[in-house]
Chains A and B, each alone.
Chain A
């Protein structure tokens, strides 16, 4: 099937305005008759629930944490992009659009990216109005910093806690609606199924994580803002509870999964210290504004104290390879370059998997106090984890899984191929193509939540009759029964291996064979080993406790079971895409280490349809057209 993204046509700069006008409206008195479910309360979900509640819809919002304030958007450190051009350095909506299309290695839709760039400015205004304390200068104006993949300073920030402050802004707006009674908040609930009635999304089945009870909720539309899936690598920068589960359950109910092989490996994370490790910690990309990446030129220097390696024996590899972008090369490129140095035997630290990020030059230039003001909390965090002082010796960094550009397929209205199912933020695939630029995730989450879904959901709801929140339809009971049976099965296996053991094993396979570099052979290994591991899981996993209680083992077992299915799809997608683009690097397709795209054969979105257990999924294509930014080899040299 050829998929249609239903993108508006005509001059790109008019597309969103025209589309907004063309969308049907629901009149204010009728809005309160419609019910909307929002799953996930990060930037996208929190902003959406707040904005939809404010418009007058009845919203039911769900999160697995104990409070909507804790979603993992909170961990984003560096900043949020907007095309304000406050620094007068040549920025514009068009340039942000251009940079994002190019940064995504020409694998995103032009119309979606244009809209994102256009509303980016509204986001900053909105957050300021909410009381988000962005960094300012002494005259009181908003401050900007630079980020990777751009040659202008367009990133707004709040110390090293931008994600936290933006999320708290959305959470405050959401709290206001909860108080007003337009949003009913359900904490500690995990979505375990999508309820589809006659081909239309009508509700969800969730597990109450405190009592273990399965609960059904019905609505006229369901919005998933359930984040990304890079915990498929086990070790990632995501929170422990991040999973593919909500998206995967929707996929199994018919929603297409687009470009699952596009995963972002963030170049600057604290290297792994041991096997027991539960997660990896990211150090903001903003550090590359003042930090210089290097490794020793000679292998024999790798064991030395870094300060003993003389200047002339250091290889500042990013500055050498990409002189015009230098240390601010985009993430996929910076990550691969780090891997290359380590593969060449010139990595540093445990296992030789690390590169230095050195602040000595900047400290000399602007002083340690300024560096502390800019990144103090990051240096503190680094010291807590590694027991090393980043002011005195270069930090050690290694790339780690961080973000997923792929996600559920949506059209221009953010609606999946299942009518009534909308997907927002990282959970969808829409704007980052094959690689996301820094400070763009926050932008997308808030764009989708504040400024896209409030319009596009009306266009859908205006075409359907409200059906209330009753869950009498047999599909609800059927869904709850199936979830119950599934959980009971997990609990009854009583095997010999723990859930963590399986997750670690799967993560190892994914990182080794479908990580920063992939080959036909490595993917073939995974396509054999993952089904075998999945089979073993269902025979030999040990899940303690009961389903009728708070049971974190059961929660993790369910998430792991879904990753064991999803991991295979991710490898299948990577296997079928015989090209390299952005975060998808197939080692066979390269030009001296640079990704080699194949625009003749692969200039499309690959969206997979679930066909049933043990059946091959079917690939659907949505061709990508570039009318404004011309397809070109992406160069940062």
Chain B
């Protein structure tokens, strides 16, 4: 067990931007009295409390569940989306990964398709637009078959689930040098393409999703695999390959 009384002092260099049109700049802050058990966001809470006492505007950032599942939190820490710890969102990153005296750079997601709203908050509605283009099975409420009517062998259900774990945070886009949403879109395409329920619309779906992806201003994939590294859920780049195959198949459908 660790020593509860030892605390750290850190220097934070944080991106501050008043609004979408403001050019923005880095500001320097000190985080004091931080223990290794603080989560990264709790550390920022402490800094914000100090800013409020000093009559200054606290740093705004997106967050909600603080347990790594809602996908709301979104910060680039020392150049890495979500801070670079394997399979971890910012909210699950803990300060034991840092040392007393460290300097930490904190920035928002940076991508053409994600305009900055304020400070560390960006607009990710482009991801919703991709889903709305067809990342669903067009079934009606009610009037569907029994859950066991169509058998789905475990490996297929598991593969669909591997893709479905995506939390829609956008780290893949932030991590990609091209600002591409291929991992996000590939995961959506694959979750449905492998399931019998999703096959009927597979060709239409992949075409519509790829179209939406392009028109939202996302870039293309050039096989850097940075998306997989950034992904807090460890979504595999094999789903991008799957999307490409589905897309090719769809041309002949």
Contacts and interface: CB of A to CB of B under 8 A. Distances in A.
B165 interface: yes
A343 to B, nearest CB: 23
B52 A165 contact: no
Interface in B217-250: none
Given A67-B168, A176-B136, A544-B58, A278 B117 contact: no
Given A172-B137, A239-B64, A350-B4, A451 B142 contact: yes
A47 to B, nearest CB: 8
Contacts of A72: 64-65, 70
Contact of B164 (A133, A142, A173, A450): A133
Interface stretch (B88-96, B99-107, B172-180): B88-96
A165 B164 contact: yes
B35 A274 contact: yes
B64 A70 contact: yes
Contact of A133 (B35, B157, B168): B157
Interface stretch (A102-110, A121-129, A460-468, A597-605): A121-129
B153 A130 contact: no
Given A67-B124, A158-B161, A187-B125, A550 B118 contact: yes
Interface string A160-184: 0100110010011101101100000
B157 A135 contact: yes
Contact of B52 (A134, A161, A553): A553
Given A66-B125, A454-B141, A239 B152 contact: no
A44 to B, nearest CB: 13
Contact of B154 (A138, A350, A380): A138
B138 to A, nearest CB: 6
Contacts of A276: 35, 38, 42, 45-46
A621 interface: no
Given A67-B125, A130-B197, A278-B66, A141 B151 contact: yes
B133 interface: yes
A66 B124 contact: yes
A129 B58 contact: no
Interface string B181-218: 00000000001100101100000000000000000000
A65 interface: yes
Nearest to B140: A54
Contacts of B51: 544
A385 B41 CA distance: 13
A454 to B, nearest CB: 7
Given A67-B125, A86-B148, A544-B58, A387 B195 contact: no
Contact of B65 (A67, A137, A140, A239): A239
A217 B42 CA distance: 36
A323 interface: no
A66 B49 contact: no
Contacts of A380: 87
B57 A545 contact: yes
Contact of A75 (B67, B131, B136): B67
A69 interface: yes
Contact of A136 (B55, B68, B153): B153
A500 interface: yes
B66 to A, nearest CB: 5
A381 B68 contact: yes
Interface residues of B, number: 80
Q: Which of A158, A161, A172, A549 has the most CB of B within 10 A?
A: A172
A140 B72 contact: no
B94 to A, nearest CB: 7
B108 interface: no
A197 interface: no
B145 A125 contact: yes
B121 interface: yes
Contact of A128 (B49, B58, B147, B191): B147
Given A210-B117, A281-B67, A544 B124 contact: no
B39 interface: yes
B198 A131 contact: yes
Contacts of A542: 52-53
Interface in A564-600: none
Contacts of B160: 131, 133
Given A131-B198, A387-B96, A175 B135 contact: yes
A407 B36 CA distance: 38
B213 to A, nearest CB: 15
Contact of B144 (A75, A126, A550): A126
B37 interface: yes
A278 B55 contact: no
B27 interface: no
Nearest to A126: B144
A539 interface: no
Contact of B2 (A71, A132, A172, A387): A387
A50 B141 CA distance: 8
A67 B127 CA distance: 9
A88 to B, nearest CB: 13
Contacts of B53: 498, 542
Given A130-B136, A384-B68, A451-B142, 5 more contacts: A75-B70, A133-B195, A139-B151, A176-B132, A241-B64
17 contacts: A54-B141, A66-B124, A69-B168, A70-B65, A129-B139, A131-B160, A136-B154, A156-B147, A164-B165, A165-B161, A172-B137, A239-B65, A239-B66, A276-B45, A350-B4, A498-B52, A550-B118
Closest 7 CB pairs of A and B: A140-B151, A172-B136, A129-B144, A133-B160, A133-B161, A273-B37, A128-B147
Interface of A: 47, 50-51, 54, 65-72, 74-75, 84, 86, 122, 124-142, 156, 158-159, 161, 164-165, 168, 171-173, 175-176, 178-179, 185, 187, 210, 237, 239-241, 273-274, 276-279, 281-282, 350, 380-381, 384-385, 387, 450-451, 454, 498, 500, 542, 544-545, 549-550, 552-553
